[in-house]
Homo-oligomer: A and B are copies of this chain.
């Protein structure tokens, strides 16, 4: 038993507040200081996505179907003009990103579970719009996944701009054998589109008959984290896997990441889905977790506020209730550390314009990561 756990057991038996447990014991380690979480706002209870306006205000999505602007941590009334949203299981209002040239063109992008289109239920859509006071205007749906499903699982929905393109994820919608390996169907994919929804002419499947031309990579279960490696410019994703199969991947153009045929876990109902961990033509993950921590948001640290974390990857756990640090070298994980434990369910992680790392935590709100001293 590690010393940190003894300390934990002692603290509890002495009735010490659980607050003290949010620190991980790094006293034997040399490279990392201790960190803690500082409250920023408790006004948004189910934060899923975060973005910063030029004036420093935060836009925060609430999965329950609302969008808020936070000034100094205080939420005003919900922003009007959202599309109809099918709040259903893991669906709802999901991510938000600003256009890299937001200051000149004013475009913001939201992802959400959209009841429009064919079939009962909903599927993931991407809308762009502008913020006009406390209301969205110029709304355009620039991607609508087909077909709808009444299932509540695996909308994906994480977005990021990279190299001028909008990348986003859509999960398998619980229909892994139908959707994921079929390029003519949405779901279980990473996508790349232009900022207006048009398709880049060098997308990998643009010349494949019947393939959805927006697809960038496939064979994914439910990617709920996406971030850009500041040293390579590549996108990295977290994939919320089956029990014992959460993954980190670097989705590359046209590649197959194997789900549901290749993976490291079993379904939550005990069904063995991916019997093999390796398959011809299928990529291995960069990292995986067994037991699963239920990965969601991820972020690379690029600011100078955390010298020891710079260029490394932060991963949030929902069920794992922790913030994990994966130290990266040449696209390899060279060490894994629990940076914060007992954090609550971390859904979103983003580095703000002030260089601090902000966390969206279910049922708690927004917090930021600071050195403990």
Contact = CB atoms under 8 A, between A and B. Distances in A.
Interface in A275-289: 277-278, 284-289
A30 B288 CA distance: 12
Given A289-B335, A332-B332, A333-B333, A264 B1 contact: no
Interface string A104-143: 0000000000000000000000000000000000000000
Interface residues of A, number: 39
A199 interface: no
Interface in A1-36: 1-2, 5, 8-9, 12, 21, 28-32
Contact of A5 (B8, B288, B337): B8
A290 B1 contact: no
A288 to B, nearest CB: 5
Q: What is the copy number of this chain in the assembly?
A: 2
A63 to B, nearest CB: 26
Contacts of A332: 284, 286, 331-333
A290 B334 contact: no
Nearest to A3: B291
A187 interface: no
Nearest to A284: B329
A95 B179 CA distance: 55
Contacts of A277: 31
Contact of A265 (B9, B30, B287): B30
A354 interface: no
A221 to B, nearest CB: 15
B1 A31 contact: no
A334 B289 CA distance: 9
A244 interface: yes
Given A290-B337, A333-B333, 7 more contacts: A1-B9, A1-B341, A31-B277, A32-B290, A285-B334, A333-B334, A336-B336
In the complex, the 7 A-B pairs of residues with the closest C-beta atoms, listed nearest first? A30-B244, A28-B291, A284-B329, A5-B5, A9-B9, A332-B332, A29-B290
